Chains A and B, each alone.
Chain A
Amino acid sequence: MNSMMPLKGFTVLLLFQAAGELLARIAYLPFPGPVLGMLLLAPCLVSRAIREPVEACANFLLSHLSLLFIPVSVGLMTQLTLLRAHGIQLVLVLIISCAVGLLVTGWLLSWLLPADGEAQEPTVKSSEEKSKAAKQESAS
């Protein structure tokens, strides 16, 4: 692979994010720039000149997305007193309502899209899939 590819891909992502921010400002849309940038970029991926660099960069960014949430998540430490004031009840509410959301969505989709198997070959392999594949290889 061309060594410029990931760099070009990153540039494309930044440019589309900027375009998204611009669109949100001009049209007074209540959505964040990156989400609009994603929607703008998706149809442009038909072009190989755009898609290939983005592919080279996206795998790296998306396989460890959790890392990028650490700074925000550490920010909870500034809210500790607020959270403590409302106590354990609030944590309970958050856990139960999250489980309800997961169950309702999951059940509905399992029921509405029953025959949805894993027919399509994924292009972006997740880390867990990779480790499973590696295990199978070493076992055989």
Chain B
Amino acid sequence: MNGLQDFWVYLASTPLLGLSLTLLAYIAAYQFFVWRHYAPWANPLMWATALVVGVLLISQTDYRTYFEGAQFIHFLLGPSVVAMALLLWTYWPRIRRQAVPLLIASLAGGAAAVFSAVALAWMLGIPREVILSLIPKSVTTPVAMGIGIKIGAEPSLVAAFVVITGVTGAMIYRWVFALGRIRSNVAKGYALGTASHGIGTAAALQFNSTAGTYAALAMVLQSVLAALLIPLLFHLFI
């Protein structure tokens, strides 16, 4: 028993623990996702996260220890976003023709997500500082944090809401699109990128490459528009 514990302490002190735990959880969750025929409730990100959190809680490992290893995977997000340039480049002639409709959809979709969240939270009597942290929730994390600071939101809450919004979008999109009779991959992808930033884009890339491209584009446009408009509108009206 002691030997095992020593081994665990050794593992936890190297990046091996966080790295292999993340990969194992993802591979298992992805197999499950394939086995369930890509059902939205079997979303690999959600189940892999649940698995990792479960293991960390049972083994009483804190998040910081885990992140020591997992940061190597986390770091790859940067180059992956840069790699989305390839999607933009491939679809550029088509995107340029559709610039105006896409811009309108970004503005309206982003505004709809923000206003419905704020209005609903206000009706439910959620405190003001929490409502402020809801505003940048549809934007990719680093941009959302920047916006949050400008409007006086709580940074840790902002980050949590961004992640939850992303995972929510990845889990509910199929039902929402079926309910709304949204069939084109362009509309599906663009909606996912607008409402659920990078995590929505990851989900879109998993079901169709056209959807993935439009999701990546929507994510970028949403973060640019939000970074410019939210602080401006906020200081004008509140």
Interface residues of A, Cβ cutoff 8 Å to B: 10, 13-14, 16-17, 20, 30-35, 37-43, 45-46, 51, 54-55, 57-58, 61-79, 82-83, 86, 89-110, 112-113, 116-118, 120, 122-129, 131
- How distant is the Cα of A122 from the Cα of B156 in the complex, in angstroms? 39
**Extra contacts besides A38-B83, A61-B83, A107-B180 (13): CB < 8 Å:** A31-B224, A34-B80, A35-B140, A46-B89, A62-B80, A66-B45, A78-B63, A78-B156, A79-B157, A86-B130, A101-B138, A122-B208, A128-B207
Instruction: Say yes or no: B109 contacts A104, CB within 8 Å.
Output: yes
- How distant is the Cα of A32 from the Cα of B88 in the complex, in angstroms? 18
Instruction: Say yes or no: B191 contacts A61, CB within 8 Å.
Output: no
Q: Which residues of B contact A64 (CB under 8 A)?
A: 26, 30
Max chain B C-beta neighbours (<10 A), residue from A68, A105, A110: A105
Q: Which residues of B contact A66 (CB under 8 A)?
A: 26, 43-45, 48, 170, 199, 202-203, 206
Q: Which residues of B contact A100 (CB under 8 A)?
A: 112-113, 116
Instruction: Say yes or no: A73 contacts B109, CB within 8 Å.
Output: no
Q: Which residues of A contact B209 (CB under 8 A)?
A: 122-126, 129
- Given the known interface contacts A98-B196, A102-B195, A123-B90, the answer about A70 and B48 at a Cβ–Cβ threshold of 8 Å is yes
Instruction: Say yes or no: A41 contacts B73, CB within 8 Å.
Output: no
Query: Looking across the interface, which residue of chain B has its beta carbon closest to that of A91?
Result: B164
A22 CB to nearest B CB, Å? 13
- Given the known interface contacts A105-B108, A113-B98, the answer about A67 and B26 at a Cβ–Cβ threshold of 8 Å is yes
Number of interface residues, chain B, beta carbon within 8 A: 121
Instruction: Say yes or no: B48 contacts A41, CB within 8 Å.
Output: no
12 sample A-B contacts, Cβ–Cβ < 8 Å, listed by A number: A16-B85, A38-B220, A61-B80, A66-B43, A66-B203, A74-B66, A86-B126, A93-B120, A94-B137, A102-B194, A124-B209, A128-B206
Interface string of B108-150 (1 = CB under 8 A from A): 1110111011001100101100100010011011110011000
Chain B contact surface mostly: helix
Instruction: Say yes or no: A54 contacts B83, CB within 8 Å.
Output: yes
Instruction: Say yes or no: B108 contacts A65, CB within 8 Å.
Output: no
B53 close to chain A: CB less than 8 A:
yes
- Given the known interface contacts A72-B141, A98-B168, A123-B209, the answer about A34 and B157 at a Cβ–Cβ threshold of 8 Å is no
Query: Looking across the interface, which residue of chain A has its beta carbon closest to that of B64?
Result: A78
Instruction: Say yes or no: B212 contacts A109, CB within 8 Å.
Output: no
- How distant is the Cα of A100 from the Cα of B176 in the complex, in angstroms? 9
B1 close to chain A: CB less than 8 A:
no
Q: Which residues of B contact A54 (CB under 8 A)?
A: 83, 85-86
Instruction: Say yes or no: A77 contacts B130, CB within 8 Å.
Output: no
Chain A contact surface mostly: helix
Which of A38, A78, A82, A101 interacts with B82 by CB under 8 Å? A38
Which of B81, B134, B180 interacts with A106 by CB under 8 Å? B180
Q: Which residues of B contact A89 (CB under 8 A)?
A: 121, 124, 126
Which of B66, B89, B102, B161 interacts with A42 by CB under 8 Å? B89
Instruction: Say yes or no: A34 contacts B81, CB within 8 Å.
Output: yes
Q: Which residues of A contact B185 (CB under 8 A)?
A: 118
- How distant is the Cα of A129 from the Cα of B86 in the complex, in angstroms? 19
Q: Which residues of A contact B153 (CB under 8 A)?
A: none
Q: Which residues of A contact B151 (CB under 8 A)?
A: none
B184 close to chain A: CB less than 8 A:
yes
- How distant is the Cα of A16 from the Cα of B79 in the complex, in angstroms? 8
- Given the known interface contacts A73-B163, A99-B176, A118-B210, the answer about A93 and B79 at a Cβ–Cβ threshold of 8 Å is no
